[in-house]
Amino acid sequence: MPKLSDLTNYTFLEAQISEFFNIISQEEVVKGNLLGILVAALIVIGVWFYAKKPSKGCLDPKKFKEFRLVKRTQLSHNTARFRFALPKPTSVLGLPVGLHIRCRGRDSQDEEVVRPYTPITLDSDVGYFELVVKMYLKGRMSHHFREMQEGDYLHVLGPVGRFRYKPGEVQAFGMLAGGSGITPMFQLTRAILENPKDNTKIRLIYANVTVDDILLKEELDGFASVHPDSFKVYYVLNQPPEKWIGGVGFISKDMIKTHYPGPAPDIKILRCGPTGMNKAMAAHLTELGYAPEMQFEF
Ligand SMILES: Cc1cc2nc3c(=O)[nH]c(=O)nc-3n(C[C@H](O)[C@H](O)[C@H](O)COP(=O)(O)OP(=O)(O)OC[C@H]3O[C@@H](n4cnc5c(N)ncnc54)[C@H](O)[C@@H]3O)c2cc1C
């Protein structure tokens, strides 16, 4: 117990007051720290939930949306790879495998033109999507892509299409692609090969004029060497180079018979190419006994 004389002693009082405030301020610091930790934890949990939340995607099937071209890579004299940024680095395009997008641009007469394209990226590629586009000399949308510079915006609508892939729905796909018709096949092939639970087999016949016209050849050859059992590719050229081991001319019935599984309910043959090629392929397939439900044209 302090004595009365102590209480009148200034130094003693000063020490008591100082100790009192010291305790208060230590408690405040502890309280403050706890509050800070709580707020930080809530922020971390919020960010984690936000990142985990499945993104709805960036497309609208009824309205064209704009995407900025961030990288353009010339692949050959008439083909380029275009990378478009999605609104956020965590965004996904939201395009189910098997479907495509519609791109809107302006032709050389400044008239509006809309054409279908299939990104070579999947929704596992976050923050961007990529198109590989072959630009034809007289092509209307080709003109738009030829003129596009990094920083420009492309108008895109989607998803569009009738082919929606469900893993395991068939035992094998036969794919018939011509020129830029490879892109829907490429998208589907990537989705199958990147899913370890999907054992679907893929046999691709890919037709072009010259060896330089073959799009995504490095990637396709890579798939064939990494997944030799699941994926096989057979190239066919109109104008082959010397020492060519692939097919020559147009895709024939014999080539289809040699490289594809025979007609069966769990087999599907997909085709995408110029109109003339698609018609010729439909006739070959029907003559070889593939029923209409075993065929699909993109
Ligand atoms: C589902 C689907 C997905 C597609 N995805 C892609 C893709 O990812 N990348 C891509 O580059 N293309 C793709 N295409 C093709 C694309 O839609 C256009 O048809 C192509 O870009 C040509 O359009 P254009 O307006 O420039 O030519 P157009 O003005 O329609 O045609 C003008 C001329 O160009 C030539 N031409 C056009 N198309 C072809 C062709 N296929 N083969 C040979 N000559 C042709 C012809 O000489 C034709 O007369 C896809 C098509 C479909 C159906």
pLDDT in tens, 7-16: 445 555 466 6
65-160 and 172-297 in the same fold = no
Find out whether 277 is annotated in a ligand binding site: no
Whether the per-residue pLDDT at 4 is higher than 50: the answer is: no
Q: Pocket of ligand 1, candidates 100, 107, 117: which has the most ligand atoms within 8 Å of its Cβ, to mutate?
A: 117
Active site annotation includes 77: no
Which range, 9-13, 33-37, 51-55, is most confident?
Answer: 33-37
ipTM, interface predicted TM-score of the complex: 0.93
By CB neighbour count within 10 A (0-12 exposed, 13-18 middle, 19+ buried), where does 211 fall? middle
What are the strands, taking DSSP E only, across 77-107?
79-85, 100-106
Q: Is the pLDDT of residue 22 over 50?
A: yes
pLDDT digit string (tens) for 60-110?
Answer: 999 999 999 999 999 999 999 999 999 999 999 999 999 999 999 999 999
Report the separation in Å between the CA atom of 186 and the middle of ligand 1, taken as the mean of its atom positions: 16
Whether the pLDDT of residue 35 is over 60: the answer is yes
| Domain ranges across the chain | 4-52, 65-160, 172-297
Assign domain 65-160 to a CATH class: mainly beta
pLDDT of residue 18: 60
**248: its two tokens:** 């020559």
> Does residue 45 have a pLDDT over 80?
no
Q: Is the pLDDT confidence value at 181 over 70?
A: yes
Computed over every residue of the chain, the mean pLDDT equals 90
Q: Taking 90 as the threshold, does the pLDDT of residue 44 lie above it?
A: no
Asked whether 96 and 165 are in contact (CB, 8 A), the reply is yes
Of 84, 131, 136, 137, best ligand 1 pocket probe by most atoms within 8 Å of the beta carbon: 136
Looking at residues 40-51, what average pLDDT do you find? 65
Asked whether 136 and 79 are in contact (CB, 8 A), the reply is no
Of 79, 103, 117, 200, catalytic: 117
Return the ligand 1 atom nearest residue 117 CA: 5
The residue whose CA is least distant from atom 39 of ligand 1 is: 274
Closest C-alpha among 194, 187, 161, 189 to residue 173:
189
Least confident of 8-17, 50-59, 137-146, 214-223: 8-17
pLDDT above 70 coverage of the chain, percent: 85
pLDDT digits (tens, 9 = 90+) for 210-236: 999 999 999 999 999 999 999 999 999
Residue by residue, DSSP assigns 158-211 as EEE-S----TTS-SEEEEEEEGGGHHHHHHHHHHHHT-TT---EEEEEEEESSG
pLDDT band at 1 (very low <50, low <70, confident <90, very high): very low
Q: What band does 247 get if pLDDT is binned at 50, 70 and 90?
A: very high
Domain 172-297 has CATH 3.40.50.300: no
* pLDDT for 29 beyond 80: no
**pLDDT exceeds cutoff 60 at 23:** no
Whether residue 118 lies in the annotated active site:
yes
Ligand 1 site residues (CB inside 6 A) read 100, 113, 115-118, 131-134, 136, 138-142, 179-180, 183-184, 274, 298
